[in-house]
Amino acid sequence: MHTVVLIAHALNLAERLGYVIRQEWLEGNGGGGCELRGRKFLFIDLATSPPDQLEMVLDVLRGEPRTAELSMPQELRDILRLRKSA
């Protein structure tokens, strides 16, 4: 699966976990997840490469205990190294 397609699937998972997605030009200074006033945000730095953007999202998803419960493409599950709950 192409990296850009994986990013789209990963962002969909983040939204399902309650994240507000912000894609911003942060001049390569980073991005990632945070919580502000009780709302979860995921900032994607558009100045970074698609593989780096994907890794930003994967880092956030790996930190969410409910990620493994969600349906997702098997390739994304494999990259996250999650086990599907029975």
Q: What is the pLDDT of residue 29?
A: 85
Q: Whole domain around residue 39: which residue ranges?
A: 3-80
CA dihedral 31, 36, 39, 43 (to 10 degrees): -10
39-45 and 19-24 beta bridge pairing: parallel
Specify if 21 maps to a domain: yes
User: Would you say residue 86 has pLDDT above 70?
Assistant: no
Specify if 63 maps to a domain: yes
Residues 12-41 pLDDT 10s: 999 999 999 999 999 888 889 999 999 999
Structural domains in the chain (count): 1
Question: Which two structure tokens, joined as six digits, stand for 57?
Answer: 């999202």
Specify if 86 maps to a domain: no
Please choose, from the candidates 23, 13, 1, 25, the residue with its C-alpha nearest in 3D space to the C-alpha of residue 60.
13
CA atoms of 77 and 26, how far apart (whole Å): 28
Specify if 85 maps to a domain: no
Q: What is the pLDDT of residue 56?
A: 94
Specify if 50 maps to a domain: yes
DSSP alpha helix (H) spans, the chain: 3-16, 50-62, 74-80
Residues 34-78 pLDDT 10s: 999 999 999 999 999 999 999 999 999 999 999 999 999 999 999
Specify if 39 maps to a domain: yes
Specify if 10 maps to a domain: yes
Predicted confidence band at 1 (pLDDT cuts at 50, 70, 90)?
confident
